Amino acid sequence: MRKLALVFQLLAAVMSIGASMRYLTASEFMPYHAAVAGQAWTAFSPGLQVIITGMLHIVGAGFLGCGIALAALARPLWRTERWAAWASLLVGVAVWAPTLAVTLMLKTAAPGAQPPTAPTIATLVLVIAAFIAALLSRSSASSTLAAEARQAG
């Protein structure tokens, strides 16, 4: 279970960092944003384009921070430190649950839009799966230690 927790954790970190690169390097909004706005990027004033691009970069920075945090928490998670499992869950859910909510909101506003719903759900599921696997690996490690202690004593 410990290996599985680590794999899930690192996959969520990689997906977060991947999403960050998409948003940090954006020079205009995504095609699904255009579908929701009902206008092309060029229809917006230069000032509004700067604001939107800035917000996209802020979102990218949030994804990057999440990815870095999840990667940094991988070592204590591997050592089955309970706090690390909770910290990973909180960081991941704090970023990816609102992202999923907004993604679904965009899809509802413009059914033809194709926001990245599947990758968003996948990343959130990986975060939750890493948490569950980490807790299960901790409890199985505790059971093993207790059994060893009974045998020794």
**In the block, which residue shows the tokens 């921070």?**
65
Contacts of 35 (CB under 8 A, 6+ apart): 110, 112, 113, 114
**How is the chain split into domains, by residue range?**
2-152
Q: What is the pLDDT of residue 148?
A: 53
d(CA 37, CA 31): 10
Tens digits of residue pLDDT in 53-102: 999 999 999 999 999 999 999 999 999 999 999 999 999 999 999 999 99
* C-alpha–C-alpha distance, residues 83 and 98, integer Å: 23
pLDDT at 47 over 60: yes
pTM of the model: 0.88
Look at residue 147 and tell me whether its pLDDT is greater than 90.
no
Summarised one tens digit per residue, pLDDT across range 100-128 is 999 999 999 999 999 999 999 999 999 99
| Six token digits for residue 140 | 């199985």
Residue with tokens 């093993």: 144
